[in-house]
Homo-oligomer: A and B are copies of this chain.
Amino acid sequence: MHVLILGTASIIGRKLATVLVRFGVLNGTRVTRLMLADASEPEVPAELVPGDLRITTTAVDMAVQGAAQAPVAVRPDLIFHLAAIVSAEAEADFEKGYSVNIDGTRALFEAIRMLAAREHYRPCFVFTFPIATFDRSFPQVIEDDFIHAPQTSYGTQKAIWELLLDDYSRRGILDGVALRMPTICIRPGRLNRAALGFSSSVLREPLLGQEAVLPVDESLRHWHASPRGRWIPPARSNHADRAAGADHAWRLRHGGRADRGSLAYSRRSSGGADPARTRSCRWQDHRGLAGSFSPLPSPRVRISSRKGLR
C-alpha cells in the first residue's frame, strides 16, 4: 500500500509517519511506500528507520494552483490530508485561508476525480476535523448530528471540507474519512497561529521556565489528547470500520479518550512538573477567544447511528 501524508510537518503528520514506519502495516495491509509532503520539502524524521518501506519526500504548496496534481499522480492508496492554514492565521489572512484550505483542497479532490475518470482509482482519503465547525453553544453531549455553525473562517473552511468529502465519496470518487480530533497538547516547538495553541504553550513554556500567555479564563474546559494518545486509530486498529450508511464522513469516538477538565486540571498530566511553575501564565483577553470557549461543558462525543457509524 502506498500512503501519502500531506502536512507532514504537523504534529499529527510526524507522529503518523512514525507509527506507519514502526508498524509497517495498516489494517492488515503492508505499507510499501510512504510519501511525506509539506509546503517545504520535509526531512525524513530521524526516528524513521525504514525497512523495506520506501520513503520519499516532496514539496507541495497547496496555495499554488495545480500543486495538488503531482502527489496524486503517483496514485497513493491512502491519503492523509493534514495540510491547512491554522485557525488564527486563517482568521487574520482571509485570502490565504480560502486559497489553501478551500482552493487547495478542492484542487486535490479534483486531481483525484480526473484520475478516477480515466482509470480505476479510488483512494481512501482521511482528514482531521476540528471543533471549530461548531458554534459556541456546545450542548452537554455533542451528538454526531450536532449542526455545524462555525464562527471563524477556519471553521467554515473545515465544514466545507466535510461537505465536499461527503459529496465526492457519495459519487465514488474517493473513500472519505473525516476524523474529529480533540486538541493535541502538549505540542512541541513554538506557539503557532492555531487559536488553541495556548493549550500547549501554557504547559510547555513554564516547563522551560518561560512565561506563557493564557488568553482565556482559567476556568476554561476543553477537549484535549496527548500527542502519544491513541488518536491515530487507522494506524493502530480497525475500530473505525465503516458500517453501511448514507454518510461518508466518520467521526471517531474520542470523547472517552480525551482528557476532560480545566487547564488547571491538565497540569496533572504535564509530566510531574512543579505545579507552581505553571503559575507564570499571564491572562490576556485575545481575539475574543474567551467568549468563544467559556461555556464549554463537560465534553463527551457520541456517535450517532444516523450517520451510519458504529
Q: Which residues of A contact B (CB under 8 A)?
A: 94, 113, 135-137, 145-151, 153, 156, 159-160, 163-164, 166-167, 170-171, 246-247, 306-307
Known contacts A94-B171, A171-B94; A163 and B137 CB within 8 A of each other? no
Can you sample 11 A-B contacts with CB below 8 Å?
A94-B171, A137-B306, A148-B148, A149-B166, A149-B247, A153-B167, A156-B164, A156-B166, A159-B163, A160-B160, A160-B164
Tell whether A163 pairs with B166 under 8 Å between CB atoms, given A145-B147, A146-B147: no
* A225 to B: closest C-beta gap in Å: 25
Cβ distance A210 to chain B, nearest Cβ, rounded Å: 34
Copies of this chain present: 2
Assembled-state Cα–Cα distance A167/B136 (Å): 15
Measured between alpha carbons, how far is A94 from B147 in the docked complex, in Å? 26
Kindly provide the distance from the CB of A68 to the nearest chain B CB, expressed in whole angstroms. Answer: 16
Across the interface, A136 reaches (CB within 8 A) one of B150, B171, B246, namely B246
Interfacial chain B residues near A150, Cβ < 8 Å: 163, 166-167
Once A148-B147, A153-B167, A167-B153 are accepted as A-B contacts, the answer to whether A247 and B160 lie under 8 Å apart by CB is no
Closest-by-CB residue of B relative to A94 is B171
Q: Report the minimal beta-carbon distance from A111 to chain B, rounded to whole angstroms.
A: 14
Closest chain-B Cβ to A123's Cβ sits at a distance in Å of 18
Chain B: CB-nearest residue to A170: B151
Name which residue of chain B comes closest to A159, CB basis.
Answer: B163
- Residues of B contacting A164 in the complex (Cβ-Cβ under 8 angstroms): 156, 160
A151 touches B246 (CB 8 A): yes
Cα A148 to Cα B113 with chains together (Å): 24
Q: Which residues of B contact A149 (CB under 8 A)?
A: 145, 166, 246-247, 307
Q: Which residues of B contact A166 (CB under 8 A)?
A: 149-150, 156
